[in-house]
Amino acid sequence: MKSDGDTTVIRASNITKRFGKTTAVDGVSFEVRRGETYGLLGPNGAGKTTTMRMMSGLSPITSGKLTVAGIDVSSQPREVRNVLGVVTQQDGLDTDLTARDNLIAYGFIAGLSPAQARRRADAVLMFFNLTEKSRDEIDSLSGGMKRRLAIARSFMTEPQVVVLDEPTTGLDPQGRNRVWQELETMKEAGVTVFMSTHYMEEAAALCDRLAVMHHGKILDQGAPDELVARRAGPEVALVRVANGVRKDVVNWIENQGFNCRDAGPVITVTASNGQRPDLSGLQGVRISYRPSNLEDVFLSMTGVTLTDDE
């Protein structure tokens, strides 16, 4: 196997995916280093799943070049899957098998011997605190446990990179917390994780670096705090104003050169110069400040929120 010579494990340059007239992924480039957790943050339809499917060789790339551990995905789609563990958006567990048998069946088809598959399944179940559930029916497991089991399955082959599509979507807060804990354990074990999410808390909590994705394009990438500092400043201002003067206030703020989003009960204001927006000239309104977050980054770049369904 070729070594990249540096620590880069995943290298995507200018990858594009078209479905007929739809361009799902539009010339995206990024690099993921060994051992880091890299995230794609974007709303539904941003192109996250398509990017991950291309990476796992499940979806042919229209143009561009994508390599994982030096293996070209387009020319060696099978070989790539030897070094990847993939958790698809659907858990993809077979409800006709027990939890443990799901892992064993996967391990065997991936290339382990039956004895290796059984040993590995027990080790992986223990690692993800699922030993008690070994013999359980899939239908009797909670959503969070199914997700953890699907993650455990991706570990059957000791992958170099784990690809996780929306690891906690649809889970209750408790289930989400458990999954986050397991992902934290994975990080500590030194696994490279490539994940997608539309929860900014999740991206902030888990990702070392992330790409903000919208309409098939990467708008910016970097460490979460870096992105926040660059795009939204340390704090955003929340302006409460009577409806009568609302329009005037918005005009005033925009004339000052601030980003202004007039949605919901408050007007949210971010400064693009990396400072806290100075609204001291504004009279007759109530202003409060809160620390900026990734949601503000996304809003300031796209004008929509991560949970807006388009």
Partner 1 sequence: MMATTYPSARVFGVRVRSVTGMWFHHALVFKRTWLTAMTWYFIEPFVILVAIGVGVGTLVNDVEGVPYAQFVTPGVIVGSAMFHSIFECSWGSFFRMQKGVYETVLTAPVSVREIAMGDMSWAMTRGIITAICITAVAAALGWVNSFSGIGLLLAAAMVGVQFGAVGLIFAALAPNVHTLSLTFTVVATPLYFFSGAFFPISILPDWVEPIAWAAPLTPAVHLARGFITADLGLSHLFSALYIIGLTALLFPIAAILLRRRLVK
Ligand X SMILES: Nc1ncnc2c1ncn2[C@@H]1O[C@H](COP(=O)(O)OP(=O)(O)O)[C@@H](O)[C@H]1O
User: What span, in angstroms and rounded, lies between the C-alpha atoms of 243 and 247?
Assistant: 8
**Is there a contact between 53 and 223 (Cβ–Cβ < 8 Å)?**
no
| Residue 185 engages ligand X in binding (rule: CB under 6 A) | no
Contacting partner 1 (CB under 8 A), which of 39, 68, 81, 306?
81
Contacting partner 1 (CB under 8 A), which of 78, 139, 281, 284?
78
Amino acid at the residue 100: R
**DSSP three-state, residue 284:** coil
| Residue 107 engages ligand X in binding (rule: CB under 6 A) | no
Q: Report the partner that residue 248 touches, choosing among ligand X, Mg ion, partner 1, none (CB closer than 5 to 8 A by kind).
A: none
| Residue 305 engages partner 1 in binding (rule: CB under 8 A) | no
Of 84, 97, 89, residue with least CA distance to 57: 84
Residue ranges with strand state E in 3-88:
8-19, 22-33, 37-41, 63-68, 71-72, 84-87
Closer residue to partner 1 in complex, CB, 138/236: 138
Handedness of CA 121, 123, 129, 132 (dihedral sign): positive
Contacting partner 1 (CB under 8 A), which of 15, 93, 171, 297?
93
| Residue 24 engages ligand X in binding (rule: CB under 6 A) | yes
Query: For residue 210, what are the β-bridge partners?
Result: 39, 222
Query: Shortest distance, CB of residue 166 to Mg ion, whole angstroms?
Result: 6
244, burial (CB in 10 Å: exposed 0-12, middle 13-18, buried 19+): exposed
Q: How many residues bind partner 1 (CB under 8 A)?
A: 46
Contacting ligand X (CB under 6 A), which of 37, 50, 270, 300?
50
| Residue 110 engages partner 1 in binding (rule: CB under 8 A) | yes
Q: Report the partner that residue 42 touches, choosing among partner 1, ligand X, Mg ion, none (CB closer than 5 to 8 A by kind).
A: ligand X
**Is there a contact between 195 and 40 (Cβ–Cβ < 8 Å)?**
yes
| Residue 42 engages ligand X in binding (rule: CB under 6 A) | yes
Q: What angle do CA 35, 38, 43 make, to 5 degrees?
A: 165
**Is there a contact between 164 and 195 (Cβ–Cβ < 8 Å)?**
yes
Closer residue to ligand X in complex, CB, 39/42: 42
Closer residue to partner 1 in complex, CB, 141/219: 141
User: What span, in angstroms and rounded, lies between the C-alpha atoms of 76 and 280?
Assistant: 60
Q: Which chain residues interact with ligand X by CB under 6 A?
A: 19, 22, 24, 42, 44-50
Q: Which chain residues interact with partner 1 by CB under 8 A?
A: 1, 19, 53, 56, 58-60, 69, 78-79, 81-86, 88, 90-98, 101, 104-106, 108-112, 114, 150, 153-154, 157-160, 189-191
